[in-house]
Amino acid sequence: MLNPIFFKLFLLFKLPMAFLAGLKLKNLSRESSLVTMKYKYLNKNPFGSIYFACLSMAGELASGMLAASIVYESKAKVSMLVVGMEVNFVKKAIGVISFKCNDGLLIKETISSAILSGEGKTLKALTTAVDQKGDIVAEFNINWSFKAKS
């Protein structure tokens, strides 16, 4: 996924709105992920900043890439679904915004628990968005649900 060409093709075919908004996956490890988005014509709002829906999409993708990579590594069939979201928008989003999720270990524990128990498990994953100055722009608590398929 860290190959920019492969990631753009993935977005184009699986998440076309993320492709149009210009999301980029900069880092993906077992513990964290980093997604960036630059303010541009296709993701702007009338107030001169990035549209909140585009910010939310990037906030979800940061935790979603972690979860998807963990599910892929587990080799088990696991369904994953966003079942809720709480967002706190702090500052106007202009320039390049970085979305970081550091909940990889918590996500792995939750997915492992769902696989072992056969029951659905949920968790809140925190993604923090910061601007180029390091100021927090928004915080996303994404509620994920995981369930092993039989």
pLDDT recorded at residue 50? 97
CATH number at residue 99: 3.10.129.10
User: What length is written for the chain?
Assistant: 150
In this prediction, the residues of the chain whose per-residue pLDDT falls under 50 are none
Q: What is the span of the domain harbouring residue 120?
A: 4-148
Domains held by the chain: number: 1
**Look-up: residue for tokens 């979800």?**
60
| Backbone angle region of 87, left / alpha / beta, with phi > 0 → left and psi within -120 to 50 → alpha | beta
pLDDT recorded at residue 21? 96
Q: What is the DSSP letter of 15?
A: -
Query: What is the C-alpha separation between 145 and 124, in angstroms, rounded?
Result: 9
pLDDT recorded at residue 107? 97
**Strand 33-38 and strand 121-130: pairing?**
unpaired
Whole-number CA gyration radius for the chain: 15
AA identity, residue 124: K
